Amino acid sequence: MNDKTTASAPSNLSRRQALFGSSAVAAAMFLPELALAANAPILGAAVGDARMLPVTFKNNGIDMAGHLYLPKNFSESAKYPAIISVHPGGGVKEQTAGLYARKLAEQGFVALAFDASHQGASGGMPRLLDDPMRRVADIYSAVDYLTALRYVDASRIGALGICAGSGTAVKAASMERRIKSIATVSAVDVGAATRKGWDGKAPQADQIAMLDSVAKQRSAEAAGAAPAYVNYVPKVGDKTAPRDLQEAADYYLTSRGQHPNAPNKMLMTSLSALASFTGFDRLDLLTQPVLAIAGSEAGSLWHSQELHAKAAGPKELFIVKGATHMDLYDGEGVSIAMSQLSPFFTRTL
């Protein structure tokens, strides 16, 4: 295992968050759709030094919306390693997950960024539900989709999780042996963050008060009240929030990263699903190579440190000196992260 640090850093979320189970008959029903996807003509627009193709795939009856990024000199007759880029809670594929997917495609990988079920352009009711176990199932379906593409080497599929996308990607990889290596950027196990707070130090009384509020809201909705929503990040300029979350507002709520499909809210009743989620509970099964990248000044650093300490397989922790959580979402921070991600996935896939 390695601990590495870089000396340069750029200047610059709170994530509070039925898995699956389809019969052999139901699985067989999806095979024609997968075959059609695998044999579709390869089009797509130039994006940077890559090409991007809007795609859809099935997830237990939900239509998932994705962007498939292809290398600039893509050939349908070749076989490529593929990487699933999993967006943060409250995010969508057009933001940081899509940026990393494009950068990976520019390095020769096929990369898929997609909207979580119930979010963005993907289907799923109710809207704006944030249930991390459903997001784990989303990742399983993304692996299914990639294995059916004729130009993807199904034995060389990796995953990249960003912020809360790391917790669900790690959970998925712990159980999904088709994921051969996994990297995280500004990792957050959203279940632990919901229970313990952004810095990991919140008292249990805060969690109990939150769950009491959720219980009251569920009863109110059962009696006919309208759904209630909570924000992922605070308002721009809210100095009472942790530094990382203030910077998250600057990303999600300004022209820097704002997208109309990311409205900065989720169903309040999602909080109990988030609180019950344990993204890092089976790290004894995570025998695949792991790379965790995080900023030295990130309030979320403790998640990456826990992942690195407990993962069973080969592992590296790369600390970006001086960087905060959000510094790795765009700009120079992405370039620093990519200097590690590209060789890692090249080596492990």
Using CA of residue 228, residue 211, residue 196, residue 242, what is the dihedral sign?
positive
- Tell me which of 14-18, 82-86, 99-103, 333-337 is least confident: 14-18
pLDDT tens-digit map of 51-99: 999 999 999 999 999 999 999 999 999 999 999 999 999 999 999 999 9
Q: Taking 50 as the threshold, does the pLDDT of residue 13 lie above it?
A: no
Q: Taking 70 as the threshold, does the pLDDT of residue 209 lie above it?
A: yes
Q: Where are the alpha helices (DSSP H) in 253-323?
A: 270-276, 301-310
Residue pair 261/94 in contact (Cβ under 8 Å)? The answer is yes
Average pLDDT score, the chain:
90
For residues 206 and 198, what is the distance between their CA atoms, to the nearest angstrom?
12
According to the model, what pLDDT value does residue 42 have?
63
Residue pair 234/265 in contact (Cβ under 8 Å)? The answer is no
Q: Taking 50 as the threshold, does the pLDDT of residue 225 lie above it?
A: yes
- Please state the rounded mean pLDDT for residues 115-140: 98
Residue position matching structure tokens 């599929």? 157
According to the model, what pLDDT value does residue 44 have?
79
- DSSP summary character for residue 43: -
For residues 304 and 307, what is the distance between their CA atoms, to the nearest angstrom?
5
- Characterize the bridge pairing of strands 110-114 and 80-86: parallel
Q: Taking 80 as the threshold, does the pLDDT of residue 153 lie above it?
A: yes
Closest of 293, 290, 285 to residue 321, by C-alpha: 293
pLDDT tens-digit map of 235-275: 999 999 999 999 999 999 999 999 999 999 999 999 999 99
